[in-house]
Amino acid sequence: MITSPALSQAAAARQWFLAREDLGALVEAIRGTGRRVIGPAVRDGAIVYDEIQTAADLPSGWRDVQTAGSYRLERGADARVFGYSVGPTTWKRFTFPPNLPIATAHKASFGFEQPAPEVPPVAFLGVRACEIAALAIQDRVFLGGQFTDEDFRARRAAAFIVAVQCTNSSSTCFCTSMGTGPEVRTGYDILLTEIDEGFVVQAGSPGGAAIVAKLPTRRPSHAEAGAAVDRVESVRTQMGEPLPMAGIGDRLKLQLDNPRWAQVADRCVECGNCTMSCPTCFCTSVIEASDMDGKSSITERQWDTCFDVAFAKVAGGDFRARPRDRYRQWLTHKFSTWWDQFGSSGCVGCGRCITWCPVQIDVREELAAIAPPIAPVEHPVAVEPVAASPGSYSIARLASARPETEDTTTLSLTDLDPAFLEGRPGQFVMIALPAFPAVPISISRFRANAIDLTIRAVGQTSTALVNLHPGAKVGLRGPLGTFWPIQEAYGRHAVVVAGGVGLSPLHGLVDALVANHDRFESVSLFYGSRTPEDQLFRDDLAAWTASKAIDVVVTVDRAGPEWKGRVGVVTNLFDMISWDCTKVTAFVVGPERMMQASVQGLISKGVPTDRIHVSMERHMECGIGLCGHCQMAGRFVCKDGPVFRLNDLGDMFNREGI
């Protein structure tokens, strides 16, 4: 019976008190209306949902202790009837039976017949908040679209719902994280909240009110009504902080290539217990049972699971051939693509998939590992930037302009606000001229009283900048963004990988590595450019080499006759690495394709992904995370970057179109 929305708020808010010894009257009253009562009963070491004849069948005084892969019953300290949390049975067993004949066929008449659902009226006793949410999800899945499941509709309509507030939770419960509990708010005919001496009773429908009217109730005392509220609230406290589920659907979609899928699939035995115990999983298969002469057959629908090895098989092969494909299918459907299809999560946080997993896989742990919340990147900026807001600029003066290559020039800026001199390698400034829009430029070098900006003349502002004469004024905002975490390379092999003008944001880092070279196991720079003529900072490269503090290896893609050095892409240079790559901290900048190839190369050599740092380039206008241009999924490159730990980017790093 679907709760009537027309029921007045006032009636719903009315409460009665039913003594525990009078609970039998409720069972009798419901049975008196011709309904079978299905409710909790102790069987085979668990509280299952089964037919209830009298209140004596109910699990008075029993408690359940649940952890991943374990369920045990024990006697509780009091006689509470509903002091357990949810058990192995789900109500879908009664709304969506595990085995259901859906058609018969007769050869002689060539007739196919669909049996009309014959559903006797029933009452579900002891439905929890998460289970009401699950029934609502089933409503959307089976009845919310163009095609509907009429058998489900009949069974759902035939069910009278006696809900029960949870007064206890298990370690596997996480309804507060999924927003489905612990309190029942809607979707019931009668609602019970169990307190010390009995139940606070509410009616949620005219049918519910009619039953309540037959019970030996009285008005609850103030203390009783208060205790009912407190009990539910204590369950919320018991469950602790909700898990960070915000954006979980999108977070999972960015992690389709996460190596954790294969790891969890190695543990998973694909028994399907999670899906069969799930109150919302709805996958089925049909089997045909014919009599021996083939004259008639019955088509039976059975609960199935997407973990089945043949579930996505066709004649030519299997679309989800690997266990990791199937685990990913399940978890992403529950928490991500379910939203796309049905407008809600497919998970209600009941925790059955955790308790009933015989190899103790906990979806909460898997979600946290596979798609952790996108936390703001915690890189303290070295110095408070000046002229942070767009439109306000700090004025600096051009000291000198030094051509690097045909189209790239290094400007030394002086007469600066001291904040710029206190910037850190990897940070950038927004630089503007009157009538020219601001552009982001990395600080390539910190000098005593100046900073260097190395600028490629590719747009209107950059062209105007490189054509300035010494003494010209420019407007600056900054220093902005994150910087290279140089201290993370202390005691390790520091490897800098640069491609083309990517050496510019790395220049200051290399200076710092050289100056502190004895703090590192080794320091190396691998630098690739298109041609020898495209190399930046040729004098500095020579000086670094001469310092012996750093191994500088350069390569070019295409060489002229003058070139005596290496030819080939920068990733080829990784073959020279002879150290234990688990002890490498790498810093990578270049064109995105080059960075992807370099990162791939470093990972394949064994460099840990949390030890690889990259600097990303995106369209920036404001530089402070307000204009939206530089967004990369959950990040703004200007304020969360431009320097990122590879792990913090996850799948975004390798995806096109982000």
Partner 1 sequence: MATSGRTARPRVAVAKFASCDGCQLTILDLEDQLLEIVSRFDIVEFPEATSRRSPGPYDIVFVEGSISAPEHLDAIKELRKQARVLVTIGACATAGGIQALRNWADHDAYRAAVYTHPEWIESLATATPASEHVKVDAELRGCPIDPGQLLELLTAVLVGRRPQIRDEAVCRECKRKGIVCLVVAGGQACMGPVTTSGCNALCPTYDRGCFGCFGPRAGANARSWSNGLLKSGRPPEEVWRLFAGFTGYAEPFRTVITELGKTKG
- Smallest gap from Cβ 70 to partner 1, in A, equals 6
Q: Select 43 or 605, whichever has its Cβ closest to partner 1.
A: 43
Q: Select 107 or 218, whichever has its Cβ closest to partner 1.
A: 107
- Please state the φ and ψ torsions of residue 405, each to the nearest 5 degrees: -135, -170
Using CB under 8 A, which of the segments 268-276, 391-399, 523-531, 573-581 binds partner 1?
268-276
For residues 522 and 579, the answer to whether their CB atoms sit within 8 Å is yes
Using CB under 8 A, which of the segments 141-149, 225-233, 267-275, 464-472 binds partner 1?
267-275
Give the residue, chosen from 138, 167, 172, 277, that forms a contact with partner 1 under the rule CB under 8 A: 277
- Smallest gap from Cβ 93 to partner 1, in A, equals 7
* 70 is a contact residue toward partner 1 (CB under 8 A): yes
DSSP string for residues in 502-551? GHHHHHHHHHHHHHTGGGSSEEEEEEEESSGGG-S-HHHHHHHHHHSSSE
Give the residue, chosen from 359, 368, 567, 576, that forms a contact with partner 1 under the rule CB under 8 A: 359
Whose structure tokens read 């960075």? 595
Q: Which amino acid is at 19?
A: A
Q: Select 235 or 276, whichever has its Cβ closest to partner 1.
A: 276
* 266 is a contact residue toward partner 1 (CB under 8 A): yes
- State how far the Cα of 541 lies from the Cα of 554, in Å rounded to an integer: 9
CA dihedral 378, 384, 386, 391 (to 10 degrees): 40
Q: Which residues contact 67 (CB under 8 A, 6 or more apart)?
A: 170, 171, 172, 355
Q: Which residues contact 177 (CB under 8 A, 6 or more apart)?
A: 242, 243, 245, 349, 364
Asked if the peptide bond before residue 479 counts as cis, ω within 30 degrees of 0, the response is: yes
Give the residue, chosen from 10, 108, 292, 315, that forms a contact with partner 1 under the rule CB under 8 A: 292
Q: Select 196 or 266, whichever has its Cβ closest to partner 1.
A: 266
- Smallest gap from Cβ 61 to partner 1, in A, equals 18
- State how far the Cα of 265 lies from the Cα of 12, in Å rounded to an integer: 47
* 223 is a contact residue toward partner 1 (CB under 8 A): no
Site for partner 1 in 502-561 (CB under 8 A): none
DSSP string for residues in 200-231? EEEE-SHHHHHHHHTS--BPPPHHHHHHHHHH
For residues 99 and 300, the answer to whether their CB atoms sit within 8 Å is yes
Give the residue, chosen from 192, 228, 268, 622, that forms a contact with partner 1 under the rule CB under 8 A: 268
Using CB under 8 A, which of the segments 33-41, 355-363, 429-437, 605-613 binds partner 1?
355-363
- State how far the Cα of 135 lies from the Cα of 245, in Å rounded to an integer: 21
End-to-end CA distance of the chain: 47
Site for partner 1 in 431-490 (CB under 8 A): none
- Smallest gap from Cβ 170 to partner 1, in A, equals 13
* 291 is a contact residue toward partner 1 (CB under 8 A): yes
Number of H helices, E strands in the chain: 22, 30
Q: Select 303 or 537, whichever has its Cβ closest to partner 1.
A: 303
- State how far the Cα of 545 lies from the Cα of 556, in Å rounded to an integer: 17
| β-bridge partners, 175 | none
Nearest C-alpha neighbor of 201 from the set 9, 2, 11, 50: 11
- Smallest gap from Cβ 35 to partner 1, in A, equals 20
Nearest C-alpha neighbor of 480 from the set 614, 648, 640, 635: 640
Using CB under 8 A, which of the segments 32-40, 92-100, 138-146, 493-501 binds partner 1?
92-100
* 267 is a contact residue toward partner 1 (CB under 8 A): yes
DSSP 52: -
Using CB under 8 A, which of the segments 273-281, 370-378, 442-450, 503-511 binds partner 1?
273-281
* 95 is a contact residue toward partner 1 (CB under 8 A): no
- Smallest gap from Cβ 355 to partner 1, in A, equals 7
* 74 is a contact residue toward partner 1 (CB under 8 A): no
Give the residue, chosen from 356, 420, 527, 574, that forms a contact with partner 1 under the rule CB under 8 A: 356
Give the residue, chosen from 289, 458, 515, 626, that forms a contact with partner 1 under the rule CB under 8 A: 289
* 302 is a contact residue toward partner 1 (CB under 8 A): yes
- Smallest gap from Cβ 308 to partner 1, in A, equals 6
- Smallest gap from Cβ 274 to partner 1, in A, equals 10
Using CB under 8 A, which of the segments 27-35, 169-177, 263-271, 367-375 binds partner 1?
263-271
Which token pair is 588? 């990578």
* 177 is a contact residue toward partner 1 (CB under 8 A): no
* 85 is a contact residue toward partner 1 (CB under 8 A): no
- Smallest gap from Cβ 43 to partner 1, in A, equals 7
- Smallest gap from Cβ 136 to partner 1, in A, equals 23
Distances (CA, A) of 240 to 138, 169, 349: 28, 11, 14
- Please state the φ and ψ torsions of residue 334, each to the nearest 5 degrees: -55, -45
Q: For strand 284-290 and strand 15-19, is the pairing parallel, antiparallel, or unpaired?
A: unpaired
Site for partner 1 in 228-247 (CB under 8 A): none
Q: Select 205 or 277, whichever has its Cβ closest to partner 1.
A: 277
Find how far residue 226's CA is from the centre of its chain.
37
Q: How many residues bind partner 1 (CB under 8 A)?
A: 47
* 271 is a contact residue toward partner 1 (CB under 8 A): yes
Which token pair is 575? 């073959």
- Smallest gap from Cβ 127 to partner 1, in A, equals 17
- State how far the Cα of 341 lies from the Cα of 67, in Å rounded to an integer: 31
Q: Select 323 or 479, whichever has its Cβ closest to partner 1.
A: 323
Pattern 23-62, partner 1, x by CB under 8 A: --------------------xxxx-x--------------
* 309 is a contact residue toward partner 1 (CB under 8 A): yes
* 597 is a contact residue toward partner 1 (CB under 8 A): no
Q: For strand 612-615 and strand 643-645, is the pairing parallel, antiparallel, or unpaired?
A: antiparallel
Q: Which residues contact 605 (CB under 8 A, 6 or more apart)?
A: 574, 577, 581, 584
* 420 is a contact residue toward partner 1 (CB under 8 A): no
* 84 is a contact residue toward partner 1 (CB under 8 A): no
Query: What residues line the site for partner 1 (CB under 8 A)?
Result: 43-46, 48, 69-73, 88-89, 93, 98-99, 266-273, 276-277, 287-294, 302-305, 308-310, 323, 355-360
